Amino acid sequence: MTEIFEEPMFREVSIPAKSTGNIIKSKDAEVTGLTKITIEDNQEEGVKVLLKKDGNDFVKEIKFICSCGHTKTIVLDYSE
């Protein structure tokens, strides 16, 4: 018996830059697409790699999270 495992899809929400404060009203938020999130953990070096993919499995963002709390993000843009 073959089972197909799929990564869960999450809705990606965009908030306009004019928003100030910590409260976001639902009328100000806009669903911009779907995304998949994968976390790969390297225990030996203390770094987690977070991959954010679109619905077609193209990597949109790579985030490196150090155990000390520092993060570095690479955003990939496939548009020409």
Q: What is the mean pLDDT, run by run of 10 residues, along the chain of 80 residues?
A: 66 74 80 84 82 86 89 86
Q: Which residue has the tokens 């499995």?
A: 57
Give a yes or no: residue 80 inside a domain.
Answer: no
Range of the domain at 68: 9-75
Give a yes or no: residue 65 inside a domain.
Answer: yes
3-state SS, residue 33? strand
Q: Under a CB-based contact definition with an 8 Å cutoff, are residues 52 and 39 in contact?
A: no
Give a yes or no: residue 25 inside a domain.
Answer: yes
Give a yes or no: residue 56 inside a domain.
Answer: yes
Domain count, the chain: 1
pLDDT at 46: 84
Neighbours of 10 (CB within 10 A): 12
pTM, to two decimals: 0.63
